[in-house]
């Protein structure tokens, strides 16, 4: 008996030594996450915490790899007609529990996701039909430019068998086809993933999002920005995309650390309320009066760039020529003459609605100071995220602001950034959020959304710029800092870290 025990002990020791040895090769990574993902089940809305863990947890039919889309679970996409497409799956996909993924699972996922109402874009998927084991036929109600790819990327895919085996609809223990499996989720604190040794895809066919260069991944939720910096300094985390700009110098060029700057997909912009500022000259005057370079210096520590439209330059349908165009660059004289033309005299007061979060207070204070140079007052109306999110779409509140600082981004196209605030079909009261009711604007945006050719894009952009209903301020840049354990950082299109695709 004793001998047996000592044998077991010796075995355990050898095994643990072995696992320790592999751990020494930098086989685990800790990622600092600012937002709390909450429910990590497949059919949740894209809340802010969720985007950080999305591609580590799930695979989709298609993914965005760098700037282009490619199949992930999907092998082949065949159009049947304008609104019908056949999706062929790889025929060897298995999830972490060993269930085979077939076309009926695709139908199940899209139908379940649609039923929750959490992924509203899926409303344009009319139905999914199972053609054979590995072919699913998608029927769409309508497809605007770029919609097909983003719809096939919208819904995380799991097997029906695994989903139904979960007691809490995978809120804490998803079983997916991803190379990483959740092994421990302490809500509000950490999520730990282990590499799935039986991952289905061949290495040569992997999209970036499915790469698996590390054995173990831990996401650590650290809401406080200073503590994020401290955790990285103490090397408790290896990498974070949420390092405050003013702390970058603590890591840039410092032994043991490295910094990468990646453009964020969101852009800050001003919305003018047409009800109170109906005169285009007045809106243009305000745009000229604000020095965006000042905003970048004060609010972003010099890291960021002046937007050229409502959205950044990263979108595929951004027209490169815009980069060289004049876009309300700061011009005191022009601003003054436009104010004079519009009959705006010193002593005028604008009410500026903004979301008291991040750098917004600094942005609005800079705007306030800039307009003060023209003798114009700006009364700030700041609300927390929840209140702002409600008031900005609230028709009844629109009488309380003249200018609004807003922020928007999209996962694929510039038109999707525009439509959030400028397509009146997407508002509950039939006007843009700036209360514009302009048929020409509407015609142009509909044309651009339906077919985002450079001509259509440019027509809308030029008209919007001329009318200055909205004015793009700053496209943000995220600071991604990491220890030298990570030799090359990889991110998804939203600027979130893909720990499996980083190099170690």
First and final CA of the chain: distance in angstroms?
A: 45
User: How far is it, in rounded angstroms, from Cα 470 to Cα 271?
Assistant: 5
Work out how close the CB of 465 gets to another protein at its nearest, in angstroms, rounded to a whole number: 23
Give the three-class secondary structure for 400.
helix
Work out how close the CB of 402 gets to another protein at its nearest, in angstroms, rounded to a whole number: 15
Nearer to another protein, 190 or 453 (CB): 190
Nearer to another protein, 195 or 220 (CB): 220
Helix (H) or strand (E) holding 495: none
Work out the number of other CB atoms within 10 angstroms of the CB of residue 358.
16
Query: CB under 8 Å to 124, separation ≥6 — which residues?
Result: 140, 141, 142, 143, 147, 151
Work out how close the CB of 266 gets to another protein at its nearest, in angstroms, rounded to a whole number: 8
User: How far is it, in rounded angstroms, from Cα 319 to Cα 322?
Assistant: 6
Work out how close the CB of 410 gets to another protein at its nearest, in angstroms, rounded to a whole number: 6
Nearer to another protein, 292 or 364 (CB): 364
Helices (H) and strands (E) counted in the chain, each on its own, are: 14, 17
Nearer to another protein, 39 or 478 (CB): 39
User: How far is it, in rounded angstroms, from Cα 162 to Cα 53?
Assistant: 20
Nearer to another protein, 246 or 279 (CB): 246
195 strand-pairing partners: 180
Work out how close the CB of 10 gets to another protein at its nearest, in angstroms, rounded to a whole number: 28
Nearer to another protein, 33 or 214 (CB): 33
Work out the number of other CB atoms within 10 angstroms of the CB of residue 13.
10
Work out how close the CB of 278 gets to another protein at its nearest, in angstroms, rounded to a whole number: 22
Q: Name the nearest CA neighbour of 79 among 154, 150, 143.
A: 143
157 strand-pairing partners: 59
Q: Is the distance from CB of 502 to CB of 239 less than 8 angstroms?
A: yes
Nearer to another protein, 84 or 187 (CB): 187
Nearer to another protein, 89 or 295 (CB): 295
User: How far is it, in rounded angstroms, from Cα 362 to Cα 359?
Assistant: 5
Work out how close the CB of 386 gets to another protein at its nearest, in angstroms, rounded to a whole number: 4
User: How far is it, in rounded angstroms, from Cα 347 to Cα 23?
Assistant: 66
Work out the number of other CB atoms within 10 angstroms of the CB of residue 140.
16
Per-residue burial over 64-81, b if 16 or more Cβ lie within 10 Å, else e, is: bbeeebebbbbbebeeee
Pull the structure tokens for residue 493.
């299109």
Nearer to another protein, 199 or 418 (CB): 418
Work out how close the CB of 54 gets to another protein at its nearest, in angstroms, rounded to a whole number: 11
Cα Dmax for the chain? 98
Q: Is the distance from CB of 214 to CB of 500 less than 8 angstroms?
A: yes
Nearer to another protein, 282 or 402 (CB): 402
Nearer to another protein, 75 or 233 (CB): 233
Pull the structure tokens for residue 324.
């060289």
Work out how close the CB of 365 gets to another protein at its nearest, in angstroms, rounded to a whole number: 6
User: How far is it, in rounded angstroms, from Cα 485 to Cα 181?
Assistant: 22
Q: Is the distance from CB of 36 to CB of 221 less than 8 angstroms?
A: yes
Phi, psi of 175 (to 5 degrees): -110, 115
Nearer to another protein, 87 or 221 (CB): 221
Work out the number of other CB atoms within 10 angstroms of the CB of residue 87.
23
Work out how close the CB of 27 gets to another protein at its nearest, in angstroms, rounded to a whole number: 18
Work out how close the CB of 203 gets to another protein at its nearest, in angstroms, rounded to a whole number: 32
Work out how close the CB of 255 gets to another protein at its nearest, in angstroms, rounded to a whole number: 16
């Amino acid at each position: 008996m004793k001998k047996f025990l000592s044998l077991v002990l010796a075995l355990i020791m050898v095994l643990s030594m072995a696992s320790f040895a592999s751990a020494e090769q930098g086989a685990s990574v800790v990622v600092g996450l600012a937002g709390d993902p909450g429910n990590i089940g497949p059919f949740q809305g894209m809340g802010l915490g969720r985007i950080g863990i999305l591609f580590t947890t799930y695979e989709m039919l298609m993914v965005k790899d760098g700037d282009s889309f490619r199949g992930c679970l999907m092998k082949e996409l065949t159009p049947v007609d304008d609104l019908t497409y056949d999706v062929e799956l790889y025929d060897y996909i298995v999830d972490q529990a060993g269930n085979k993924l077939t076309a009926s699972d695709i139908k199940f996922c899209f139908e379940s996701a649609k039923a929750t109402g959490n992924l509203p874009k899926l409303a344009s998927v009319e139905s999914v039909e199972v053609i054979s084991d590995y072919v699913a036929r998608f029927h769409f109600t309508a497809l605007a430019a770029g919609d097909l790819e983003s719809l096939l990327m919208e819904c995380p895919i799991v097997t029906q068998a695994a989903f139904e085996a979960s007691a809490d609809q995978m809120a804490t223990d998803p079983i997916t086809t991803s190379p990483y499996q959740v092994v421990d989720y302490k809500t509000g604190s950490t999520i730990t993933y282990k590499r799935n040794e039986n991952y289905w895809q061949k290495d040569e066919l992997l999209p970036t999002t499915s790469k698996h260069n590390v054995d173990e991944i831990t996401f650590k939720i650290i809401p406080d920005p200073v503590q994020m910096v401290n955790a990285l300094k103490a090397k408790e985390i290896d990498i974070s995309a949420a390092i405050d700009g003013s702390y970058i110098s603590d890591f840039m060029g410092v032994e043991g650390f490295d910094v990468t700057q990646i453009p964020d997909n969101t852009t800050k912009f001003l919305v003018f309320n047409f009800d109170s500022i109906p005169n285009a000259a007045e809106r243009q005057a305000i745009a000229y009066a604000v020095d965006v370079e000042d905003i970048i210096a004060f609010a972003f520590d010099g890291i960021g760039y002046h937007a050229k439209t409502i959205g950044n330059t990263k979108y595929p349908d951004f027209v490169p020529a815009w980069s060289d165009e004049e876009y309300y660059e700061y011009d005191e004289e022009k601003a003054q003459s436009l104010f004079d033309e519009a009959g705006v005299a010193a002593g005028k007061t604008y009410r500026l609605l903004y979301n008291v979060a991040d750098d917004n207070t600094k942005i609005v204070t800079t705007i306030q100071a800039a307009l003060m140079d023209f003798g114009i007052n700006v009364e700030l109306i700041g609300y927390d995220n929840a209140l702002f999110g409600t008031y900005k779409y609230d028709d009844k509140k629109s009488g309380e602001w003249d200018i609004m600082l807003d922020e928007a981004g999209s996962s694929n196209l510039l038109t999707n950034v525009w439509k959030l605030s400028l397509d009146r079909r997407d508002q509950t009261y039939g006007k843009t959020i700036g209360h514009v009711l302009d048929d020409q604007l509407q015609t142009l945006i509909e044309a651009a959304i339906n077919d985002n050719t450079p001509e259509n894009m440019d027509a809308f952009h030029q008209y919007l710029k001329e009318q200055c209903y909205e004015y793009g301020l700053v496209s943000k840049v995220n600071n991604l800092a990491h220890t030298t354990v990570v030799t090359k950082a990889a991110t998804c299109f939203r600027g979130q870290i893909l720990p499996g695709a980083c190099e170690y």
